[in-house]
Amino acid sequence: MWTLTGFKFILAIVGAVAGAVLLLAILHQASHQVKRTLTIALTFIGGLFYFLEFFIPPDPKTEEAVLFGWSLTQAAEVVGNATLVIGGFTFLLGVFSLVHIHGNNVRRRRPGWSYSLAFFAAFLVMTVFAFWKDWQTWFGGPAAPAWVNDQNLAHAAMPQDVYTLLFEGLVRNLDATMFSILAFYIVSAAYRAFRIRSGEAAVLMVVALVLMMGQVPLGMALTNWIPSDGPWSGLRIESLSQYVLTAINAPVQRAIGFGLGLGALAMAMRIWLSLERGTYFGQEV
């Protein structure tokens, strides 16, 4: 593996960016046919690489898939890192998109623009304090003050700094709150919409009742009077619930999984061989 430092490192980054820009410029000028052929070829080569790496039996000593003396397993890590870099660009795209949309909302005073302003404030504050806190660890330079990065061991359980306040005090609780609200919607929806209007709905209701009550102590208490051993034990609500999960649910899940696997295989083949048509596949790139 290459390890570059100092001027060579900066030169390598500048060279890589310049090379990428040049390549994109050439591709931009190329005809639709060339772009399409290139996309198909790269997709096929990428798929073929992982196909061979997975299916070639590994060397018993090194546990690596080798083709003509070339370790595909080691190369897979490099390719994987390259995929991560490409993935990093999508993060940048996400930030750009958020700033663009919320920036327009604020600029044009659209309804609810104050929420967009809250987004900018939250984004800025969290970014500044998260980077400031660990700046010295990652990039060197002066240490952050205690109110930004509390290193006091006495506060190890709950550091008294701004980042912890933002993360533990706000992000974590807001996240939990958002998820908890679901429970209220589910209760309301179950009350208003779960009407038994057909035989299928009745079956669903009975199974839901068994599973819901079989999951909680209060439900289990309903059939507590049935002996837990012996021929009648299967009628206890927790036993019925386990029966539904293992004897009915598990085979159905297997069938769904099998169908999904076949579908995914067919889809993967279509994408690998560029047979897929429709959105993004048949259009000009």
Partner 1 sequence: MRGQRRLPLEQIIGRIDRRLVYAGLFLITLAPLVGRWALPLYVTPPPKMLADTINALPQDKLVFISSNWDAGTQAENRPQMTVLVRHLIRRRLKFASISIGAPNAPQLANAAIEQAIQLEKVPWVYGQDWVNLGYKLATEPWLRSFVRQIPEAVKEDWKGTPVDQIPVMRGVQKFGPDGQASMLIDITGSATIDGWYRYLSPTGVKLGLGCTAVMAPEQYPFLDSGQLSGLLTGMKGAAEYEQIIGAQGFGTTAMAGQSFAHLYILILIILGNLSLVLGWLERRRRRR
CA 21, chain centre distance (Å) = 29
Q: Is 43 an interacting residue with respect to partner 1 (CB under 8 A)?
A: no
| β-bridge mates for residue 67, sequence order | 70
Burial (0-12, 13-18, 19+ Cβ within 10 Å), 112: exposed
Q: Is 73 an interacting residue with respect to partner 1 (CB under 8 A)?
A: yes
Q: Decide whether 24 or 196 has the Cβ nearer to partner 1.
A: 196
The DSSP code sequence of 106-143 is HHTT-TTHHHHHHHHHHHHHHHHHHHHHHHHHHH-SSP
Q: Decide whether 76 or 99 has the Cβ nearer to partner 1.
A: 76
Per-residue mark of binding to partner 1, 159-178 (x: CB under 8 A): --------x---xxxxxx-x
Q: Is 213 an interacting residue with respect to partner 1 (CB under 8 A)?
A: yes
Q: Decide whether 15 or 259 has the Cβ nearer to partner 1.
A: 259
Minimum distance of partner 1 from residue 42's CB (angstroms): 18
Nearest one of 13, 46, 1 to 272, comparing CA atoms: 46
Token pair 């390890």: residue: 3
- Of these, 35, 215, 243, 272, which contacts partner 1 (CB under 8 A)? 215
Minimum distance of partner 1 from residue 7's CB (angstroms): 26
Minimum distance of partner 1 from residue 206's CB (angstroms): 12
Interface with partner 1: number of residues (CB under 8 A): 57
Tell me how many degrees the CA angle 177-179-182 measures, rounded to the nearest 5: 110
Minimum distance of partner 1 from residue 83's CB (angstroms): 6
Helix (H, G, I), strand (E, B) or coil at 229: coil
Q: Is 89 an interacting residue with respect to partner 1 (CB under 8 A)?
A: no
Q: Is 59 an interacting residue with respect to partner 1 (CB under 8 A)?
A: no
C-alpha–C-alpha distance, residues 204 and 185, integer Å: 20
Read off the amino acid at residue 54. Answer: F
Q: Decide whether 105 or 129 has the Cβ nearer to partner 1.
A: 129
- Of these, 8, 110, 155, 254, which contacts partner 1 (CB under 8 A)? 254
Q: Is 86 an interacting residue with respect to partner 1 (CB under 8 A)?
A: no
C-alpha–C-alpha distance, residues 121 and 166, integer Å: 12
Minimum distance of partner 1 from residue 1's CB (angstroms): 12
| β-bridge mates for residue 71, sequence order | 66
Token pair 């997709």: residue: 43
Element (H, E) at 19: helix 6-29
Q: Is 83 an interacting residue with respect to partner 1 (CB under 8 A)?
A: yes
Residues 6+ apart with CB under 8 A from 208: none
List of residues contacting partner 1 (CB under 8 A): 63, 73, 76-77, 79-81, 83-84, 87, 137, 157, 167, 171-176, 178-180, 183-184, 186-188, 190-192, 194-197, 205, 209, 212-213, 215-221, 228, 236, 238, 242, 245-246, 249-251, 253-254, 257
